[in-house]
Amino acid sequence: MEIRWFGTATLAFSDEGQSIVFDPFISLNNELPRPTITELAQYGDIFITHGHFDHLIDVPLVLKAGNAKVYCSEVAAATLVRDGVDQSRIKVIRPGDCLDHGPFKIKVFKGEHIKFDLPLIIKTLFSRRAVANFTDLRKLVRLAKLYPQGEVLVYLIEADGKTILHLGSLNLNVAVNYQTGVDLLTLPFQGRSDLDSYTLKFIERLKPAALLLHHTCDSFPPVSSPVRTEDFIRAMEASFPGLAVIRPLYNQPVTI
């Protein structure tokens, strides 16, 4: 199975000549490498983890460029219909659903969204960067209101004898029994000032064989930021010997 990262939380999974893509989004930062709508559309059906703009806003254009369907929560579906997507292209899914999707077997779990901590909020909103880019900040606040989060979904993906637990936001529901010991856990590594320590509890709970970090790029400044991962990777090597940590490069295949 091959995985490609296209910035933010956009991940494409390919196996046996078929592909699916999660949370397709074109970065608002022109200085970063960005996929085209056509490029995202070639990966086929779309799965959404939650309804925030950096996971949903580009979906209507991606659908228009191809024949894909989109699988998402009720709230995300309502947003897409508002944005002009035909209801026939939308499949509402819920925790507990199991999908056979070509070579992929997908099980849906209830997730949670990361809780932004106060130091990060203060640093983000009251920085020189925020002041210098106040117009962009106002635009992002407006988008946040237009794209409600809705239910957060976590996906267990099985293909080619491998299991992947895919998260679109760095949090888990305390009452859900997620599969442990998966071959790969995808982690959206953004949204806290204490990411290195905050993430440890999820590693201890899930005990994956490997991690793939995403959402590390500065894709919607001034709210986002480029995230350094060197200290985290060293901490993982020290605390969990044998745990592989993958920091993918843009549009470069990762094979598991």
How confident is the model at residue 58, as a pLDDT? 98
Total structural domains in the chain?
Answer: 1
pLDDT above 70: percentage of residues in the chain? 100
Q: Which domain holds residue 250?
A: 2-255
Task: Give the sign of the dihedral formed by CA 8, CA 167, CA 149, CA 113.
Answer: negative
How confident is the model at residue 125, as a pLDDT? 86
CATH assignment of the domain containing 155: 3.60.15.10
How confident is the model at residue 234, as a pLDDT? 92
Confidence of residue 38 (pLDDT cuts 50, 70, 90): very high
Q: What is the pTM of this model?
A: 0.96
How confident is the model at residue 208, as a pLDDT? 98
Cα distance between residue 219 and residue 35, in whole Å: 12
| pLDDT, tens digit, 9 for 90 and up, residues 7-26 | 999 999 999 999 999 999 99
Confidence of residue 254 (pLDDT cuts 50, 70, 90): very high
208-230: average pLDDT: 96
User: DSSP class of residue 111?
Assistant: B
Cα distance between residue 137 and residue 182, in whole Å: 38
Burial (CB < 10 A; 0-12, 13-18, 19+), residue 223, is buried
| pLDDT, tens digit, 9 for 90 and up, residues 123-173 | 898 888 888 889 999 999 999 999 999 999 999 999 999 999 999 999 999
Is the confidence at residue 74, as pLDDT, over 90? Answer: yes
Cα distance between residue 76 and residue 172, in whole Å: 19
